[in-house]
Amino acid sequence: MAMMIDVTGKDDVYREATATGRIRLREATVEAIRRGEVEKGDPLSISRVVAMEAVKGTPYALPFCHNIPITGIDVDVELEPDGVAVTVTVRAIAKTGVEMEALSGVAAALLNVWDMVKSLEKDEGGNYPWTRITDIAVVNKVKRRKDGFHST
């Protein structure tokens, strides 16, 4: 039986989660991003906005996630020699954690990068033999109770 977990009896506490991920790209694609030559625009700045929207929309994509009041979102999108790295940190005062929101932000940002550079990544057959989204993970989680106790 599928159901949303009832968190009515839980206290609102400070919650924070950080997730990261990467997209591997061809060297020529990285150079095109660096030079501002991607036809659709700047994948780095647009992916920051995409990540924030995905964080806020997580309960719509994942029906058993609670709609919680997000109090802060930090998004870092960095160009690397072989692709783009994304880090998203989400904060809330809530009854449940924000890991899914952080993961959603990372995944959406990376998908956006792919969408924006796909014309540069395709081979002659229209496939993407080099492009890979990898290493999406929660790298930090904080739960701070009213008494100051920290747990993960």
Catalytic residues: 115
The set of residues, in sequence order, having a beta carbon less than 8 Å from that of 32 and lying 6+ positions away, is: 38, 117, 120
DSSP 42-103: -HHHHHHHHHHHHHHTHHHHSTTS----EEEEEEEEEEETTEEEEEEEEEEEESS--HHHHH
